[in-house]
Structure 1
Amino acid sequence: MPSAANAAAGSLPQVYGAWHCGDDACTWATVRDMANFDQNNHWLIDRGDGRPSVNLVVLSFVNPLTLLNGTTNSGNTGGVPVGMNQAVVNYFTSHGIRVMLSIGGISYTNDWDTALAQNPTLLGQRAAALATQLGVGIEIDYEQSTTPNTTGLQSFINSYRAAHPYDASGADSTARLTLDVAAGDRWLIALDQYATTNWLTPANPVLDYANAMVPSKQPSASSAESNWQEHISGKPTYSPPIPPLAPAKFTGGLYIAGSSQVLPECDNFASSLQNATGTWTQNAAPAGAGTTTGLLGYMFWAAERPSTRGVTTDPPNSCEGGVGAGATAFNVPLPMPALRQS
């Protein structure tokens, strides 16, 4: 068993999930044939011994402006990609895997801006109704790096929380509301500062947690740890400063697909970054926020076909040997338990 799986006194990952882009580079614009879907994604529900490789799948992406407008066209019904349907959600939940939908992504940044300017309260209501309809949680992926509309996003969150209040127990899937931030504190600075100050404090949590997204390319183990440490330490010299983030309030992101070759993070746990960083992520100490050691877990970008170029996680490149083996090594809980709160 790799040493990272036995990190002394650390906190084992509670969140161990994959963003999922479907077979069309994250648009989910067609209804899937579920036999084909299972062929391409079976590794997610079976690491080789009948147990899932992950305890969370985040279907990516819903266009926020399309959702606000309730658009129906060739790829959407009532503002929701037609591929993000109950059959796909049930495919995962029937195996004890939590499902969320991600609203946004880098391609929809301008649409986030427009939607938040037009009617953020209605957008929050429609996101909440979508969560109720499918029995899922919602992830906010708003990658505005210069002037994010935090006032509008606050209204969106208030509206969502009016329908689905914060639930520390984790029992209500629709109450799970998360936010994506950059790999470290040096991008999405204004959003990071506002979220860490207002939404991610252990004493008064508004969002469940944040995901530190992948950087522009797969990092080294030391670079990944350095990025994640920035969130834990904060940036006191920034104006306004970014306060420290509790380790229990975020996950770290790694690539599993989209590069020119199959990555060990997908198919070789012993050589993977989740293995190399495992001891650090389980033992990362609070540096001004929180009381428990260890990040909340890992998120992997991304299942099936995250881009039109590069390898996918379709067979024979499926990820039982990397992500799945990591689930075994880290003793990832299935289903996801109540998360650490501080």
Structure 2
Amino acid sequence: MRARLRGLRFLAAIVTSVTAALTPGAVATTAAAATSTPLQVYGAWHCSDDACLWGTVRDMTDFDTNNHWLIDRGDGHPSVNVVVLSFVNPLKLLNGTNDAGDADGVPVGMTPAVVNYFTSHGVRVMLSIGGITYVSAWDSALSQNAALLGQKAAALATRLGVGMEIDYENSSSPNLAGLQSFVSAYRAAHPYDATGADPTARFTIDVAAGDRWLIGLDQYATANWLTTANPVLDYANAMVPSKQPSASTAESNWQEHLTGKANYSPPIPPLAPAKFTGSLYIAEGSQVRPECTDFGSSLQNATGSWVQSAAPNGAGTTPGMLGYMFWAAERPSTRGVTTDPPNTCQGGVGVGAATFNVPIPMPALRQS
């Protein structure tokens, strides 16, 4: 009799355990884990040592001292799989300007040696055209000859073997017709490549942290260039806000892209999770950030599960944003912290790359 009772209690314990495992919360947790997608993009904008001018040719020994963390997180593997050299002035590129800091419209510091420094370690390289400083330069270049600007950007991509990023931060009246001509001219030279094998075909755009700034650009890019059915640009980067957000604010901003703004006129459609990254600061203000040096208390750690499981909400079919971008390596401002030694980012970005098992080199990106 006692043996039978012990057996019944054992069976009851099993039933209780199974029932608990099948509660809605447990099922939701299991489902979330089953529908998360590994990060594919994990990169940094790079501002050289002169606040994003790239106005001098770098001594590569000094460059390595300040930037070795990007190609070696401490175990011989890179901390990132893409670096975006920032910025090219679009008007100087169009006009082929030669001055103290530019040659044929390109910052003299953006050299084949710098590109090879990263690509020889499996890190993709892109150039960013624009930035907040060059809004009026974008406006002038697009109004003068947008198609020629696209052709010159494509030729520069060919010469250096890099991709291109659009950073056009005109929030009130962007020249969308001109920007369409620019994009069309670039794509005529470097067609969309879903395999990612051609570095010059990688073509992206920066949008705001959420849908409430750069509204016209965001609406047009989402509707025309970032669809999964007929993609023109590879993906968008949801840029950093005015200051480092909290985890909940960052996720709320990114959710705006996933949801869109149906109440706007014209509406901003939903953006597929596979078509954008989220961005965080690694160098901002006067204090070293955990995003740079302490992964355990960083925002990429706090938001990582959300980013990898963010669900489609009207666009795309697969969960999870593409990944993260970090602003910005070396010296993004003449004031404030840098990522130079001793503030290098192996402990934040580098540990994150290992924790997230970031693929290096970057694989073919999800298309839906």
TM tier relative to shorter chain: over 0.9
CA RMSD, Structure 1 to Structure 2 (Å): 1.0
Q: Which of 280, 296, 300 is 1:254 aligned to?
A: 280
Tell me if structure 2 keeps the 8 A contact 1:7–1:282.
no
Distance in 2 between the 1:105 and 1:236 partners?
28
Q: Report what 1:44 is aligned to.
A: 70
Q: Which of 49, 54, 57 is 1:28 aligned to?
A: 54
Q: Is the partner of 2:213 in helix, strand or coil?
A: coil
Distance in 2 between the 1:8 and 1:101 partners?
36
Q: Report what 1:283 is aligned to.
A: 309
1:123-138 maps to which residues of 2 (within 5 A)? 123-138=149-164
* Gap runs ≥5 in structure 2: 1-31
Q: Indicate yes or no: 2:170 matched with 1:148.
A: no
Tell me if structure 2 keeps the 8 A contact 1:201–1:245.
yes
Q: Which of 145, 149, 159 is 1:119 aligned to?
A: 145
* Gap runs ≥5 in structure 1: 1-5
Q: Deviations 1:12-65 (Å, cap 9, x if unpaired)?
A: 110000000000000000000000000000000000000000000000000000
Return closer, same or farther for 1:101/1:30 CA change in 2, 3 Å cut-off.
same
Return closer, same or farther for 1:7/1:313 CA change in 2, 3 Å cut-off.
farther
Code of the aligned partner of 2:224: N
Tell me if structure 2 keeps the 8 A contact 1:45–1:53.
yes
1:180-191 maps to which residues of 2 (within 5 A)? 180-191=206-217
Q: Report what 2:122 is aligned to.
A: 96
Return closer, same or farther for 1:7/1:78 CA change in 2, 3 Å cut-off.
farther
Q: Report what 2:267 is aligned to.
A: 241
1:315-326 maps to which residues of 2 (within 5 A)? 315-326=341-352
Distance in 1 between the 2:69 and 2:154 partners?
30
Q: Indicate yes or no: 2:256 matched with 1:267.
A: no
Distance in 2 between the 1:176 and 1:276 partners?
29
Q: Which contiguous aligned blocks of 4+ residues in structure 1 show a shift greater than 2 angstroms?
A: 6-9
- Count residues in correspondence: 338
1:154-233 maps to which residues of 2 (within 5 A)? 154-233=180-259
Q: Report what 1:3 is aligned to.
A: none
The structure whose residues are more often helix, as a share, is 2
Distance in 1 between the 2:218 and 2:253 partners?
13
Tell me if structure 2 keeps the 8 A contact 1:145–1:188.
yes
Tell me if structure 2 keeps the 8 A contact 1:258–1:309.
no
Tell me if structure 2 keeps the 8 A contact 1:21–1:60.
yes
Q: Is the partner of 1:101 in helix, strand or coil?
A: strand
Q: Is the partner of 1:23 in helix, strand or coil?
A: coil
Distance in 2 between the 1:312 and 1:259 partners?
9
Code of the aligned partner of 1:261: Q
Tell me if structure 2 keeps the 8 A contact 1:248–1:296.
yes
Q: How far does residue 149 in structure 1 lie from its aligned partner after superposition?
A: 0.4
Q: Report what 1:336 is aligned to.
A: 362
Q: Deviations 1:209-238 (Å, cap 9, x if unpaired)?
A: 000000000000000000000000000000
Q: How far does residue 7 in structure 1 lie from its aligned partner after superposition?
A: 5.0
Distance in 1 between the 2:256 and 2:210 partners?
6
Tell me if structure 2 keeps the 8 A contact 1:27–1:81.
yes
Code of the aligned partner of 2:129: I
Of structures 1 and 2, the one scoring higher in RCO (CA 8 A, sep 6+) is: 1
Code of the aligned partner of 2:199: S
Code of the aligned partner of 2:77: R
Distance in 1 between the 2:38 and 2:241 partners?
23
1:79-94 maps to which residues of 2 (within 5 A)? 79-94=105-120
Q: Report what 1:302 is aligned to.
A: 328
Distance in 2 between the 1:169 and 1:259 partners?
39
Code of the aligned partner of 1:214: V
Q: Report what 2:319 is aligned to.
A: 293
Q: How far does residue 258 in structure 1 lie from its aligned partner after superposition?
A: 2.4
Q: Could you tell me the TM-score, scaled by structure 2's length?
A: 0.91
Among the aligned pairs, what percent are the same residue? Answer: 78
Q: Which of 111, 130, 139 is 2:165 aligned to?
A: 139
Q: Is the partner of 1:231 in helix, strand or coil?
A: helix
Code of the aligned partner of 1:80: V
Distance in 1 between the 2:222 and 2:216 partners?
10
Q: How far does residue 259 in structure 1 lie from its aligned partner after superposition?
A: 1.7
